Amino acid sequence: MKVQIIIRIILIHFTFCLYSCGKEKTTPDEDRPKEILTIPVVVHVINYSPDPFTISDQKIRSQIEVLNLDFRKKNPDHLNTPAEFFNLVADVGIEFSLATIDPNGNATTGIIRTESNLTGIDGQDLTGTTAIEDLRLYFTEKGGQDAWPSDKYLNIWIADYSNRLGELTLPGYANPPGSDPRIDGVVIEPRVFGTLEPLALNHEYGRTATHEIGHWLNLRHIYAGEKNCNSSDLVEDTPTQYGSYTGHPTHPQESCGSHDMFMNFMDYVADDAMYMFTTGQKERMHALFQPGGLRRQLFLNSSH
């Protein structure tokens, strides 16, 4: 009888170890979202016809892969997060997939290509007074491409935004929740999109799209502005900092009486120096999909 009891204890311990010993140790179970939202993406490639850029389907798909790593906390470099912030790193629970059905119910690759003399600046309201109809990048009849319904898709416009001397005028920008549906989405320069060449210096990991889609999901920059320690991003677990960081800063850096979280996706460091969203940022993004949220209908449409 004693031998049988001992054997049973050994079997129970072995079974428990099979279940638990191989589990991931870096992410507590409660951090895993109960429901994963997958957002269909349409990529509007508007190639600058006077001097065309190169962006293959493979390069575009590499960007989708980056987004799915970054927003699901599957990017290996999140392990570089300093110890004081490590428990804040969040699996946002949002994934992205190139659309397979267009607004008319037809099969699509999710990649639409046209040529035009327009550039990224043709989609940007520089004065705050430009009429939507004058932002030509978003209108097919004016040389751009019409947005697909923003309650069903994330629209990404790829448009030239470089002086072709190795410098970016602007790597990208976002039209955030509440924007006119005709411009709802993000605009990205082709040399910061994806992980395949051609790529601009410090933009080799596809994190510009991660940053701009963060804005599209209602996140703000984590910095408050020069010599300003008022909270600016409305997220409690991101320490307030004066200004943005660029390049490859070393931790710790301090500005407002605490260490700055410059490795957050919502700062401006080089792609390989940013690698985390926080739990508070995750909650702010998910609030968009709750009843009354500005992207509630997108959630409902994407859940079926």
CA distance 207 to 197: 15
Tell me phi and psi for residue 216, to 5 degrees. Answer: -60, -25
Computed on alpha carbons and rounded to an integer, the radius of gyration of the chain in Å comes to 22
Catalytic residue list: 212
Q: Are 206 and 62 in contact (CB under 8 A)?
A: yes
* Cis bond upstream, residue 82 (ω within 30): no
Q: List the structure tokens of 166.
A: 């190795």
CA distance 162 to 159: 9
Residues 6 or more apart whose CB falls under 8 angstroms from that of 189 comprise 120, 158, 159, 160, 161, 162, 168, 170, 171, 172, 200, 208
